Amino acid sequence: MSASSGNAPPREEGFSFPGEFEIAAMGCAGAGLEARVPGLLRHEAGLAVIADSLSVRSSSAGQYVAVRVRFVARTRADYERAHAVLRADPDIRYTL
């Protein structure tokens, strides 16, 4: 079976859409990112966040936190919007 046959979703730059993706947002501890990251993805980006996918890891000194969550992106634009919405938050230093 060739890659272009069947009902497979289109592939874009190494990603397959629609699909589930993980995003990590890093910022200062104490900024409430554990609640804000999923909320921003849901309410600002309009994306579905996968239940029970949230994980939080603090830096060794406890000054920073990394919040990871999985979400559904139907298109590359959805994926890019997730990063843009999180990066627009002043308490989020960067996303991966």
Domain boundaries, the chain: 21-95
Beta bridge mates, 56: 67
What pLDDT, in 10s, does the model give residues 60-83?
999 999 999 999 999 999 999 999
Q: Tell me, what's the pLDDT at 15?
A: 81
Q: How far apart are CA 74 and CA 89, in angstroms?
A: 23
What pLDDT, in 10s, does the model give residues 17-31?
999 999 999 999 999
Architecture label for domain 21-95: 2-Layer Sandwich (3.30)
Q: Tell me, what's the pLDDT at 13?
A: 57
Around Cβ 20, how many Cβ atoms within 10 Å? 11
Angle at alpha carbon of residue 89, lines to 79 and 49, rounded to 5°: 40
Please state the pTM of the whole predicted model. 0.83
Query: What are 5's two structure tokens?
Result: 């046959």
